[in-house]
Amino acid sequence: MYGYLAFQRDSLDRKDQSNPDVQKAVQSIPADLKWMQTDADDATVSEIAAKKENAVKNYIDKVILLPDSPEVFPNPDGTTYTPETDSGKDNPGTDTPSNPDKPSKPSTNTNNNHHNSSNNNNTNTDKDNTTKPEEKPADEKTVVEHRTVFVTSTTKNVQLYTDGGNLIKNRALGKDSSWVGDKLMTLNGVRYIRVATNEWAKLDDGLEVTSINETVKTKNQAQLYTATGEIVKNRALAKNTAWYTDRVATINGQKMYRVSTNEWVAANDIK
């Protein structure tokens, strides 16, 4: 629960601070975090679950799907830039095109020697043999509405891209952070989740998760996995034991429940 509330606390900085629900969450989360640090050791699993359920119901559910406030970046000239106004298009070139109304003058042969007249009648066919550059095929792209919560990799920051698939070099998502996505783009076979106006993260660089508030019980000794599907070799869950879970996700094709920060148990091992 502590990690879950800490995630939500960090995400509040990106929300509209004038929103009453955001203000309530800003005031309430620190108190719940303090309770986890000082009193949770003496609490039962049910009490911890009830504490989180109360937090989710009273303020987290009200703010988690709110859109982030647009970020403002200062420019060297004193003006500001926000992602909301970024068209995502490259700047047009500055080359000045030639004026078709003013053709260049043809070269004049000033040699009046008659025996060279045959050379003047030769036709230059080099331009007819010029090979045209191969045209780049159009991108295969689809975009659909897709409301979700995207959790980034636990081991590295996640790069961001424009809706044209171009890398955004000056921004990234922090590792093991949660983001609300609203669109799914498939660009040339690669899937992206939109986390801001023109900022997309590759779906393979994290997980789509569903927030839950449940207790699961193992059937037998249960193997643990990381968020990337790797086996946790030095830990397992004992047979017939109950575990609180706050997230469910599909990892390597299997439905799994999160039971600690980066430990997941497969649904097949749950009663």
| Per-residue pLDDT tens over the stretch 30-78 | 777 676 667 766 777 777 777 777 766 666 666 666 666 555 445 555 5
Cα(182)–Cα(194) distance, integer angstroms: 6
**Torsion from C-alpha of 9, 12, 18, 24, nearest 10 degrees:** -30
Q: Has residue 93 got a pLDDT over 70?
A: no
pLDDT at 139: 82
Locus of tokens 């970020």:
71
More confident residue, 147 or 83: 147
More confident residue, 183 or 74: 183
Locus of tokens 């469910």:
248
Q: Has residue 11 got a pLDDT over 50?
A: yes
pLDDT at 86: 41
In percent, the amount of the chain with pLDDT more than 90 equals 41
Q: How far is CA 114 from CA 48, 110, 121, 198, in A?
A: 106, 12, 12, 69
Cα(165)–Cα(194) distance, integer angstroms: 12
